[in-house]
Chains A and B, each alone.
Chain A
Amino acid sequence: MSAMSVETLTARDLQYEVEQFLYREAELLDDRRFADWVDLFSDDCFYRMPIRESTPDNPSGLPAEDDDTIVRHIDDDKVGLRRRLVKLENPAAHSEVPPSRTRRQVSNVRVARLANGEVDVRSNFSLFQSRRETAEFLFVGERHDRLRRVGDDWRITRRTIIIDHSILPRSLSVFF
């Protein structure tokens, strides 16, 4: 397929491409191909999971996306993602020894074109994690992604993980 710019894709084709990209991405993670997964992110990316709080004046409980002096559960750039990769590849990374069994469901994909040719994508996810025998956890939330067209493929330039937990059910050794 020849490279098509975002502008010339029909809405239906754009939707299809983005969905296929997200499914492929989930497959890379469930198959533990973490290096390939990190390659999906642009070098200028961020990968964040803000903390959600219940406050009287902010029903969503979400902080401003551009606030850079607040603490988040996850606040990584490409370097941070690579650092996680190096840790995971270390045989002493106990938190993933033996590897977790994970299964990701991605749905409710909503795509919006931006003026600069990138697209904003919202999708819902549920992530089941099973470790050893009976340690089982379910993480649920939404992702706000910004995707950039690179040739025939896409790169994730921003990912904000809107986790639907106030108190995280466990330490996070999985990617979202």
Chain B
Amino acid sequence: MAIENGTTHLLVDGDTGLVSRKIFVDEAIYALEQERVFRRSWLFIGHDSMIQAPGDFLSTYMGEEPVILWRGDDGQPRVMLNSCPHRGNKLCVYDRGRARSLTCSYHGWTFNDAGALIGVPFDQLSYEGRLNRSENALPQAKVATYGGLIYAAWEPEESLEEHLGEFRWWLDAFVCHDDFGGLAYLPSAQKYRMPGNWKLTSDNFVGDFYHVPISHASAFGVQPGRDSKLMSRFGEAEEEKQGGMNAFVQRGMEAFSFSLPPGHGIGQVTFNESRLRRDLEIAKSLDAEAVDYVRERHAKIGARVKTAATPEGFVAGTCFPNMTFQGNGAFEGELVAIVHPRGPRRHEIWQYVLLERDAPASVRRFAARYTSQRQSAAGLIGLDDGENFERIEESTRGPMASSLTFNYALGKERDDQHLDNGGKSRDSWPVGGTAGEPSRTYFSEVNQREFYRRWSDKMGLQGATV
């Protein structure tokens, strides 16, 4: 294979933090990735609340494979290949719905919500009743759930619990809890195409917080390089009274990221009640019920996590390989997205808002709108990511540009030596009792380094060079 010829640098170099651009552009690596990452990893498919009743289904993908997530008559969620075993025709042509059976439009084979072949037209005339129906059931992926999150894998190499690893602590704390009725999905899924390799989005969410004050400056109303205007929640530009960009970054420095083996990561976790204060400000503009909810929610998090300082949720994160998180505040719920690969140079983002089921009506109304205004196709934050990825895609096409590396070395020395900025000890960090390896949110790329180490392991390409 072409990728093994020549030896100029490692595909993924854990020592230097350099990653070959080939893994973002090369067709052969992409094809191998479909086999080794997307076929062998646990992939997030959906949330229990998306298919509540028997017969509820939704169409989605595992990598490039179209699948149906379908709740059977027995209440079990199943994940089946959305391709008729007879001639490969797509069976389910709806985004979601409820059905007890699906009939293929080509020759009429019919399958029930457990994937069994239950109908064959003219069975006696055509197959003389001898078609082996069990051999022609819909292929099913292995399914495992974790606190309402439904994952599937074709050929898993470990249990779902092992795959989630250190992420479980944070999922238990913020995603898989039962307080206020637990999280439930607000319809519908926002879906949009993105330029560039799927890993750009996964690595952006896993730990690229360095880009936030620059890429998203305009979303926060901050102008780099000058004493600037701050975006108010009410849409007017106000004179920044808190010192412009530097103050913005200083506030961000109070947040932490966590590398969560194997290969997951989260970031912008605050322990200083800054999100609580922001949420209370929003709540006060709504109603008393919202204010009570925000306070009670914060107290419940504290009771759940039982740490000295209460983490306020993670603003962004990635569960390897292609499930991302955003939000985690009282008004954002949990924005969960799937990054679907679409060839080496394209991907799609399908995102879903999960919110506490028993949140007050005013909070539900606010949350439904909040996502569309921030991290979404038209959101003030999301659209600048798409622009950057489009530019990356345009400028990494040629043999020269694609032979170089991406640099993920930020903060490596500090992280290796377990030091804070300025060479200080990390002992004073308020992270005791949490899970994972912490770093300063804006100024470390350790989460990406660990993401690509995991990717390299999955690919069986440790030490591979280009």
Chain A residues engaging chain B, CB cutoff 8 angstroms: 49, 51, 53-57, 61, 63, 68-76, 78-95, 131-133, 135, 166-173
Contacts and interface: CB of A to CB of B under 8 A. Distances in A.
Nearest to B219: A87
A86 B237 contact: yes
Contacts of B187: 63, 70-71
Interface on chain B toward A: helix, strand, loop, or mixed SS? mixed
Given A70-B186, A79-B234, A93 B373 contact: no
Given A75-B373, A76-B373, 10 more contacts: A61-B95, A72-B368, A78-B235, A82-B236, A87-B231, A87-B380, A92-B214, A92-B223, A168-B193, A170-B377
B6 to A, nearest CB: 31
Contacts of A51: 188-191
B169 to A, nearest CB: 28
Interface on chain A toward B: helix, strand, loop, or mixed SS? loop
Contacts of A87: 218-219, 221, 231, 380
A74 B374 CA distance: 10
B265 to A, nearest CB: 24
B371 A92 contact: no
A82 B191 CA distance: 25
7 contacts: A71-B187, A71-B372, A73-B372, A87-B218, A94-B388, A170-B192, A172-B378
A169 B342 CA distance: 13
Contact of A63 (B188, B190, B236, B394): B188
Contact of A69 (B365, B372, B373): B365
A95 B388 CA distance: 8
Nearest to A173: B383
A94 B215 contact: yes
Interface in B237-268: 237
Given A86-B231, A93-B384, A94-B388, A71 B188 contact: yes
A92 B215 CA distance: 8
Contacts of B378: 49, 73-74, 171-172
Given A53-B188, A171-B383, A71 B371 contact: yes
Nearest to A85: B235
A73 to B, nearest CB: 6
A38 B41 CA distance: 47
B188 A57 contact: no
A48 B98 CA distance: 27
Interface string B292-329: 00000000000000000000000000000000000000
B97 interface: yes
A75 B372 contact: yes
